[in-house]
Structures are given as structure tokens and as C-alpha cells.
Amino acid sequence: MSDTSLPPTERATGAKPSLSRRRFLNLAGIGAGAVAAGGGSALAAPAAGTPDPNIVPVPDWTKTLGAPVNENPYGKPSVFEKDVVRREVTWLTASSQSSVSFTPLYALDSVITPNGLCFVRHHGGQAEIDPDKYRLMIHGMVDKPLVFTLEDLKRMPGRVNRPYFLECAANSGMEWRGAQLNGCQFTHGMIHNLFYTGVPLKTLLDMAGVNPKGKWVLAEGADAAVMTRSIPLEKAMNDCLVAFGMNGEALRPEQGYPVRLVVPGWEGNMWVKWLRRLKIGDQPWQQREETSKYTDLLADGRSRRFTFVMDAKSVVTSPSPQAPLKHKGPNVLSGIAWSGRGTIARVDVSLDGGRNWTTARLDGPATPMSMTRFYLDFDWAGQELMVQSRAMDDTGYVQPTKQELRAIRGTNSIYHNNGIQTWLVRSNGETENVEVG
């Protein structure tokens, strides 16, 4: 990519090519920038025997004082990373208050999602709640209906820290009928993986004293959608958390500040944000988000309901359409895998569209219902690749192909699409979302 194609600010800073909407549309532009990075680019190696201008002379940043310690009291990413942001697909929804902004998975590594980059899904906009005025009510089939303040929750014995992924049930939902969106940010970006701090929901329910006939919990948010979901009591007592922290700091407002529900391994819609109420009952409430939505319409016209668990799934995040291959020779293929049923046991990678597979290297923690990072170090000679990944969890579940999924479910499910993703890497490094057969 020639420098003249960059906006002036980027030319000045030498920033990497930005993923502006226009350039994003122009796949050829990304491709040209991929392998052909040549003369004039800061990335380019100098001619043999010529000193690298990034070494001789010594760069200015080595010879001048930098910014003071408190330049940014909270802290911000490098200016050169300004394109690593959440993105919205405006045509998906009728309103930006009931919409989604996607995690830029293509630019992230390791297993923890930075707080500001976690995908955001609201149904009635982002509520802003004064923590001093926050209240959580527990009532219904209990001995003692109770009200808690945020301070009560923070003083509660038995606080825990747990890493979990949160995936929207509709993640990859636009891909049921075929390859549509060109980037893992959009095909798979309704997921994040965080360390939550909070109190086991069981602690609070035990304090209220659940009636033996109680079988379900209604969780309700304090936002303008007053979001509700029915959760089986067994799950609530098993591993759900009432969380007030994410990655070591308070929940972000868009993630439910000051308190959200954590429902490990289950679809994100159940992780009610701005949690205000928990009601115990003896049957599910058949709320809108568990009847009209978040049910899976199958080819025979019938629908599955209460499909809570997120099945094992994986995606290669690099290379991917927004992260094309830039160099021949050594490359690191990187991706993420997760399962709502347990721990990721193995991930296989194919570079030829699923004919042959190599087991990838898992690195970092692999814990139940949390994201796991995988790598495949490979040499690229510039040939066309059809990149796939296939996750397996410790229950023996193997991520299916999209064809296998469609054979059972048809194409109208919207939710729970965990089929194997294929990226086509062209000889110039340009990468596209495709399907193979």
C-alpha cells in the first residue's frame, strides 16, 4: 500500500494502514498492502548494505524527553493502535440503542479481552446507575425477601474471581445462509473473555432462603429494556455470580455497571446487566427474550427453546480478512476456542479447507467455560490457503462443519451457529470469508 493512500495523520505518524470503512470495502486495497509492502514503507527492510534509517540516525524518541507520567491519568492505547476499536454494523438493527458493537478479535491476542473492547449489546441503551442508589431485590418463593446495596455485595463473605467467556447466542448468526461478513470482528466478535469479581449467586439466594418448590430464577435488569431471563435454579445455585468487577476494575457502564449476572458457559443474553431483581418461581416466565427471541427455529418449522449452553467453537483470528498475511516465510496463525460445556481439550487447524488437519499449540490458561488461545507456527510460500480451525472440549464434543449444522438445523436458526469458519488466503495475502465444499 502506498503511503499516499493514507490520511495525512497516518502518513505523519507512520501508523499501520487503518481499517477505514472505505478501505475495508476495498479488499483489493488490503491485498495490495499485504505482501507487496515495498519501497517507501516504514515496514520495508533497507537495501542490502544500506543502514536502516530507523537505526541511523538514532531516532528522535531516544534523544528527547517523553510525556510526563500522568499525561493520561487513566491510560490509553498507543496512538498507533487507534484503529483497534469496536465497530457497529448499522444495517443490522433499527436503532443504535438496541444494537451491537463488535469486539475487534482480529487485533487481539492472549485470552483476556481488554475492558474497552468488549462487544456491547444493548436492548434499551446504556443505563447510567449511581452506585449509591443501586439496589438488588430478591423475592418470590423465598423465606425472606431481601434488598441489597452495592456496599452489601462488596462486604459479602466469599468473594471470588473467575475467568469466563460471554458469547451472544446470535454470534455468527448472520452466516447461517452463507459467507456474508468479511472479518472475524463481525462474524465472531460478539464474544469477550474476562476475569469477573463478585459473589456466588447461591450466597444471596441462601440468605433469602429458597422455597423447596422454587425451580427457576427470573433475572431482571434496571435498563430501559428491563431485560429479563428465566434461569433454572440449579444453574443459579451451581456457578452463577453476581459480579461487580471485570478484569480488576469496576464493571464498565456498557457491561452493566454496577452489577451484572454471570452465567458461565450460557448464552450472553442471560447475563443480565444492571441487575436489579431476582425472583424465585416454580416455572419459567416465558419472557420475550426466551420465546420470540433466543429460540432456534429449525427447518421443520418447530423451535428449540431454552438452548442455554454455548457449544464448543473456535475461529482463526489471524490471518483473517482484517488481518491479512503480510509476509512469506515464517508466520504465526493465531485463534481462539471456547466451550460452554467445559474446557477446551484440543484445537486442530487445516490450511487446505478441512482435508488435512494439524493439532495446534494451546498457550495460556485453558479453564472451563473460558477462552483458550491456540497457535500454529507455519511457513507460507505464497500459495492459496483455506484456513479452518476445529475445537474439541473435554466432553468429547467436536466443533461441526457448517454443512453438518445445517443438515440438522436448516438455515433459519439465527442463534447458536458454531460451525467451522473458513478463511481463503490468496497468494497476495488478502483474506476473505468463504465457504468450501
Partner 1 sequence: MWKSAETLLASALLAGALAVSGMAVADPQPAKPAAKAEKDKAGADKARQAVNVAAPAATAPTAAKTIALGRPALPEEIAAWNIDVRADGEGLPPGKGSVKEGEELFLQNCAQCHGEFGEGAGRWPVLAGGRGTLKSERPEKTIGSFWPYASTVYDYVHRAMPFGSNLSLSPDQTYAIVAYLLNLNDLVAEDYVLSKDNFPKVDLPNEANFYDDDRETSEKAFWKKNPCMKDCSGEVHVTARAQILNVTPDGDQPKGNLE
Between CA 61 and CA 374 the distance in angstroms is: 35
Task: Annotate 192-234 with DSSP letters as a single string.
Answer: EEEEEEEEEHHHHHHHH-B-TT--EEEEEESSTT--EEEEEHH
Q: Which of residues 181 and 261 has its CB atom nearest to partner 1 in the complex?
A: 181
Q: Specify the stretch interacting with partner 1 by CB under 8 A; choose among 8-16, 89-97, 253-261, 325-333.
A: 89-97
**CA–CA distances in Å: residue 227 to residues 79, 98, 236, 240, 301:** 37, 12, 17, 17, 27
Which amino acid type is present at position 83?
Answer: D
Report, in angstroms and rounded to the nearest whole number, the Rg of the chain calculated over CA atoms.
24
User: What is the smallest separation between the CB atom of 127 and partner 1, expressed in angstroms?
Assistant: 12
Nearest-CA neighbor of 105 among 374, 317, 255?
317
Q: Which of 41, 287, 343, 427 binds partner 1 (CB under 8 A)?
A: 287
Distance between CA atoms of residues 198 and 271, nearest Å: 13
Q: Which is nearer to partner 1, 357 or 365 (CB)?
A: 357
Any contact of residue 132 with partner 1 (CB under 8 A)? no
Cis status, amide bond into 77, omega within 30 of 0: no
Q: Is 285 in the site for partner 1 (CB under 8 A)?
A: yes
The answer to the question of residue 123 lying near partner 1 (CB under 8 A) is: yes
Answer yes or no whether residue 437 interacts with partner 1 by CB under 8 A: yes
Q: Residues 419, 410: contact at Cβ < 8 Å?
A: no
- Which positions from 360 through 389 interact with partner 1, judged by CB under 8 A? 386
Looking at residues 231 to 260 of the shown chain, list those that interact with partner 1 (rule: CB under 8 A): none
The 214-233 contact track toward partner 1, x by CB under 8 A, reads ----x-x---xxx-x-----
92 binds partner 1, rule: CB under 8 A: yes
**CB-side exposure of 181: number of CA atoms within 13 Å?**
20
98 or 115: CB nearest partner 1: 98
213 binds partner 1 (CB under 8 A): no
- Least distance in angstroms from the C-beta of 146 to partner 1: 4
Near partner 1 in 155-184, by CB under 8 A: 155-158, 170, 173-183
Place of cell 423447596: 212
